Structure 1
């Protein structure tokens, strides 16, 4: 690992200035992703700006919803009594991600910026446009079982690995940023990027911007389910995941919110399916149709064609559990 300098500012402004003064600096909080990347030689910051002393750890609730500080630990958020009560979808997604030890270190801000787990990104001997722009995409003709079926490009077919991001997408979260030019709020659907011809850019965050928190403008949601299909039940990334939230009046769906993980470079929101479900009566047949509709535009590669069958089945099952048609 390359040697680096280390500073611990106590104010957001000082932290941002530390990055402005040093183009080779990086923020670090829990370090559960960044330190792995440094050990493998994928990241080599000249300075780490430790932001753990910043006052960004509170979870507050008001009439508009929740405000969650960027330094809130994943475990603290998942176990928070108001989150478990009013936003169980978020709690479920967090508990499905990683191990308890990692959740006790990882932060909300770091989770938002979690980098892909594509093996070609992690193997510095292989081509990867995300790691080294212009070098090619090893996954395109390589082993691509875990890779995207939506929104990919000839430059990158990697997926966003975060469970939390999928739930936040379904919950219409807002990402709060602070930088040299002031503060700005970004809807999470606009925060993460599709790869296009710039796959090295995972999100729209500016180089010198700091995530200070997220807000979730929502009321209590009870008819929800986070379904994660993976190779093993502990500490494995999703082959396909579904965050489903329904507002029901009896057996009628007033509105639906759906997002998928493990299928795209960003959380994949199913807006067309949401519109289709609104006003309909819950049924197994309806949810099967919803899964079929969700696959419009999907494209598989040599080793992930199974996702074209797994994804619609997962959508139907998640909706069935969320609606109460079947038990989890």
Structure 2
């Protein structure tokens, strides 16, 4: 299916961007409630796992890993909204809440905020790839690579790496340095090292409280599963059949936001855990909208419900899509590349 085939007639991306400004005002009480509830539930899940391990209730411990990981993802989404200045009206409140949550998500807030801003400013632009996004080659670029270069790209895009080894590496190891901004001065280095220190102190405190063995048995699977879920969400938000890529001269930020980002329609429980980030086309059109107001947009502008819509089952078909075919203007798989 070509990227343009499913686009609703009559949607003006630039006009929609102006309309969505009305939804950008955060509600202080609602924001405090959302972050407070998520932190409380995550702490409770963590404590239940610790008690379960202490008393040998392995089945309870195992049962709690997925919800704890889901709540960690939700905390990251709060941090994400803070990075966009969307969660609180006050910039300092956004930044300090974001930095505090970054200690729990193993993500330096200031480094991630800058990288993610580049992603939003260049998403869908073939001439400005490489910062804050998933590496994606065009068919021509892949064809021009050496055998070794093709192997490295195929290895990177393999599901076991993309959703298994890769997320754990990015959040646990790569995140300890301001990768991509190493020459941007001391501020990002200071921020990253401060976050690392806070992570180490909190880890030491928790290990002292529950024991080092129990701490790692809880924290490692929760972080690994949460990281994989987070990368999966980011992948599906832009790596789908009907996505939108253009060269710089033909690139329009509003068009790229609306048609280069999916509407990942998840079951209600997963929408809550992922803080409505599946309404990603609206988020890219207007990143200052708090996540709890995104459903209001779909209610008031029903035309947006079917733009880039993917169900949970449909999203599984995105996994093999690895190369951007500039001729058909769609993502294709390695199998389709070989058959061409």
TM-score w.r.t. structure 2 length? 0.29
Higher helix share: 2
Question: Greater strand percent: which structure?
Answer: 1
TM-score by length of 1: 0.29
Larger radius of gyration: 2
Bigger relative contact order, structure 1 or 2 (CA pairs below 8 A, ≥6 apart): 2
